[in-house]
Amino acid sequence: MNSEIIKKIIAEWLGDKVFPPLIKRDAPDLVLERASEIIAVAGPRRAGKTCYMYQLIHDLLAQGNWSREDILFVDFEDYRLTDFTAADTDTLLTAFQQVAGKAPTFLFFDEIQQMPGWSRVLRTLHNQNRYRIVVTGSNAGLLEREMATELRGRCRNILMMPFSFPEFLRFHGVPDDERTLLTPARGRVLKAFEQYLKEGGFPEVVKKETVPEKRELLQTYYRTIFYRDILERYNVKAKAVLEAVMHHSLNTFSDLFSISMFEKELKRHQLPGSKQTISNYLGYLREAFFVIAHDKFSYSPRQRIMNPKKIYLLDTGFSLLSTDFSENRGKLLENAVAVEMFRRQQECFYYKGRRECDFIIKEGTKPKAAIQVCWELTPKNETRELRGLREAMKAFAIEEGFILTNDEERELTFEGAKIRIMPVWKWLRG
């Protein structure tokens, strides 16, 4: 790697005195000076990982004890660093010392997975006990696997997602304290929630004024995930099959994904694709933070693998690329719950016996809670929803049962069990 190019990139960083507009996120407040672990921030593209890095750097500088000459920031998606490898790390650190006049104390590496051999580099740097290190990555599986092997016990993992609903409210200046919720201003929260379901929480999407602008930006994200995060990263040969799997996930969110049925569908369209290929591609979608996949709950690992997975979009905004909101509001509501479960890093499954239940939450070795989601309870669907929930509760001796709706709140007793009904928007507030 040409050292002059590296020096130029470092000089640009040191000379840039202006940060982009920063949005305070609900993320841990870190004292980096005392951080003995590598801070690894994982999450989808455009969720705010880089801005979170900038916020941490801004906070360091605001203390008055540090300057930019103490901080090395590198964006490994810079096209000029395409050929950067682990062997160039010494060149990078030497170049910084030459340009800044001193060695860095803090290392901020954005999209670290773009550097081949990155985990070994981090382990080596961490072992030197000279640096405070923060990295980001847009690939869940890569970070998890590599961290578990090369960097076990050396990392603190932080999940950075698109805006949560409370963050969405704050961005739009909508108060949601308990007092406000008892006044007519409560309607602003409900209106904001409907908007949140439709457009999701990607910060740059939220900033756009019109639906066509939001859709265009989400289409860009979609293409980037397809081409850059999956097709190129995994050297996918069957492009048409990958496209079919991704398109199917986009248009059937909150539904079961049967690999066997999808294989038959591919054959009807004369497309290649074995069950293993389809499974691999679905795994790539998960690793690229495009979908969330829930297994059917079973104490048997084999049964979990054998049954269809339930697929959710990692951000409900992607639904703008598929179908009409009014036709899928119940599915969007369920998807929003799945996203929040993922954000809270809860271990989730679905239940299917004689009846169905949307979510089984597992804590430790046992199911802890059962949750059913529907847009509204009516005389036609209330008994069905309650029976599915109660069957799941009985199957695993679960005491906590919830039905989450658009805007209904009460408690009832069904078959001897107390069931709490509450709005999704209120549940999202925590």
For the chain, give the percent of residues with pLDDT over 90. 77
pLDDT band at 341 (very low <50, low <70, confident <90, very high): very high
Contact 296, 352 (CB under 8 A): yes
Q: Which of 128, 144, 159 is the last residue of a domain?
A: 159
Name the residue with higher pLDDT: 299 or 204.
204
Q: Classify residue 14: in a domain, yes or no.
A: yes
pTM of the model: 0.92
- pLDDT at position 282 is 95
Q: Classify residue 260: in a domain, yes or no.
A: no
- pLDDT at position 185 is 81
Torsion over CA: 291, 41, 359, 181 (sign): negative
Written in H, E and C, the secondary structure of the chain is: CCHHHHHHHHHHHHHCCCCCCCCCCCCCCCCHHHCCCEEEEECCCCCCHHHHHHHHHHHHHHCCCCCHHHEEEEECCCHHHCCCCHHHHHHHHHHHHHHHCCCCCEEEEECHHHCCCHHHHHHHHHHCCCCEEEEEECCHHHHHHHHHHCCCCCEEEEECCCCCHHHHHHHCCCCCCCCHHHCCCHHHHHHHHHHHHHHCCCHHHHHCCCHHHHHHHHHHHHHHHHHHHHHHCCCCCCHHHHHHHHHHHHHCCCEEECHHHHHHHHHHCCCCCCHHHHHHHHHHHHHCCCEEEEEECCCCHHHHHHCCEEEEECCHHHHHHCCCHHHCHHHHHHHHHHHHHHHCCCEEEEEECCCEEEEEEEECCEEEEEEEECCCCCCCCHHHHHHHHHHHHHHCCCCEEEEEECCCCEEEEECCEEEEEEEHHHHHCC
Q: Which of 131, 159, 187 is the last residue of a domain?
A: 159
Question: How many domains would you assign to the chain?
Answer: 2
Q: Which two tokens stand for residue 357?
A: 């239940």
Q: Classify residue 306: in a domain, yes or no.
A: no
Question: Is residue 176 pLDDT above 60, yes or no?
Answer: yes
- pLDDT at position 147 is 63
Closest CA to 61 of 86, 90, 32: 32
Q: Classify residue 389: in a domain, yes or no.
A: yes
- Please state the rounded mean pLDDT for residues 57-74: 94
Question: Is residue 169 pLDDT above 90, yes or no?
Answer: yes
Q: Classify residue 10: in a domain, yes or no.
A: yes
pLDDT band at 83 (very low <50, low <70, confident <90, very high): very high
Q: Which residues contact 422 (CB under 8 A, 6 or more apart)?
A: 402, 403, 404, 405, 408, 409
Neighbours of 150 (CB within 10 A): 18
Which CATH number goes with the domain that contains 34?
A: 3.40.50.300
Q: Classify residue 21: in a domain, yes or no.
A: yes
Q: Which of 159, 176, 197 is the last residue of a domain?
A: 159
pLDDT band at 422 (very low <50, low <70, confident <90, very high): very high
When the pLDDT of each residue in the chain is averaged and rounded to a whole number, the result is 92
What are the tens digits of pLDDT across the range 139-154? 876 666 666 566 777 8
Show the domain range for 102. Answer: 3-159
Closest CA to 42 of 173, 149, 176, 135: 135
- Please state the rounded mean pLDDT for residues 236-262: 93
Contact 142, 128 (CB under 8 A): no
b/e map 405-430, b = 16+ CB within 10 Å: bbeeeeeeebeebebebbbbbbbbee
pLDDT band at 182 (very low <50, low <70, confident <90, very high): confident
